[in-house]
Amino acid sequence: MVYISLAKPNHLFPMSQFSNTVSNRLFSLDVFRGLIMFLLIAEAAGFHDSFAQLTEGTALYIAALQLQHHPWHGLRFWDLVQPFFMFIVGVAMPFSMKKRLAFGNRRALNTHMAKRCAKLFLFGVLLHCIYSFGPVWELWNVLTQLAFTIAIAYGVMTRPYWFQMLFSVGLLVLTELLYRGYNPNAPYALGHDHFGAWMDLLVMGKVNSGHWVFINFLPTAAHTIWGVVCGQLLLSKKPAQEKLGSLGFWGLTAMGLGFGLDALGITPIIKRIATTSFTLASGGTAIWTLAFFYWAIDVRGYKKPWLRFFSVVGTNSIFIYLFSETFGHLLFREFEMLWSTGLFHAWEAFKDWIMVVEALLILLLLWGITYFLDKRGIYFKV
């Protein structure tokens, strides 16, 4: 049976409406977040590219492609990871907000959120400087995008759920209007003749060679808003079956709209410019994935010790992402350079295999850092 209902923001009705323990956590959310972070640090460790090189020309290359972004029109598994990340951040926000309000006030919370968004923005910009080995002004990093989506979601999260949903739909409609208004004949054609590229030239004076655009934060703010609404639902005292019914219905609705827009030729699914169809399809998939984890772990009680392998990675999510994108990249790049020095020339035939093993070792090292920090109760908060 499907129940169509969503929880209201906590400032609109008494705190008793929610779980009694402020520190109560959803293990399903920890595992979901940890799994996504594990995949992200695996990319930083070089596993995705190494696996693709190793399997090229074999049957496994199909699987390797799923760990690469689609070049333009289409959807692969890796295209879902960033939306999942932004969605999970939104799910966690009501839990964090409730805890902070229990020990502080709204002004302190506003200050904290403003500082958090500023730090994320700064970290995102600095990462681009590290990638480029010098100062650059580029705003395509996921952390920079997240700074905007969190600010937008936080700005509306104290409003009724129906307002949050309508606001997110408004962001998608606005995105459609901007792209179609800028280039009515071919709003989503491959290249740089679209609204997103024009905005990049306006803000940064350059376009991205991979066709990513800065304005992606506008439609993908819907992911974080939907995460907030889902978090408010899970935080409520509604029966578990009612929560699952709501998650299932809205997830299916979003996916149906997203894939429907693509199938009908109205708006193509394109991750690199975050079209509305992509946002809906990926957002709906994120909601369904959360529903699955919640059902399996928190409702059915499947809390096996091996799940901790993933959950510990999410306990310091921003820290390990920054660490892997800097130190992890550096390790992989330096090791790969040894092949051009002649040191490993005799092993050239095994290079692809060795690079995969090396990437896995870096990934294990990064995981070990999160395990070490979690065991000692050390958590870096942004």
b/e sequence 207-240, b meaning 16+ C-beta within 10 Å: bbeebbbbbbbbbbbbbbbbbbbbbbbbbbebee
The pLDDT tens digits of the residues spanning 140-180 come to 999 999 999 999 999 999 999 999 999 999 999 999 999 99
Asked, for residue 369, whether it belongs to a domain, the answer is yes
Is the pLDDT at 21 greater than 50? The verdict is: no
The set of residues, in sequence order, having a beta carbon less than 8 Å from that of 216 and lying 6+ positions away, is 145, 196, 273, 274
Asked, for residue 380, whether it belongs to a domain, the answer is no
b/e sequence 154-192, b meaning 16+ C-beta within 10 Å: bebbeeebeebbebbeebbeebbebbeeebeeebbeeee
The pLDDT tens digits of the residues spanning 43-86 come to 988 899 999 999 999 999 999 999 999 999 999 999 999 999 99
Asked, for residue 4, whether it belongs to a domain, the answer is no
Asked, for residue 260, whether it belongs to a domain, the answer is yes
The pLDDT tens digits of the residues spanning 90-99 come to 999 999 888 8
What is the structure's pLDDT at 23?
35
Q: Assign residue 377 a region: left if phi > 0, alpha if psi is -120 to 50, beta otherwise?
A: left
What is the structure's pLDDT at 204?
96
Nearest to 145 by CA among 173, 131, 126, 124: 124
Domain that holds residue 60: 10-375
Max Cα distance, the chain (Å): 70
Asked, for residue 83, whether it belongs to a domain, the answer is yes
- Tally of domains within the chain: 1
Asked, for residue 170, whether it belongs to a domain, the answer is yes
Structure confidence at residue 331 as a pLDDT band (50, 70, 90): low
The set of residues, in sequence order, having a beta carbon less than 8 Å from that of 21 and lying 6+ positions away, is none
Asked, for residue 381, whether it belongs to a domain, the answer is no
Asked, for residue 157, whether it belongs to a domain, the answer is yes
Between CA 366 and CA 268 the distance in angstroms is 37
pTM for the model stands at 0.89
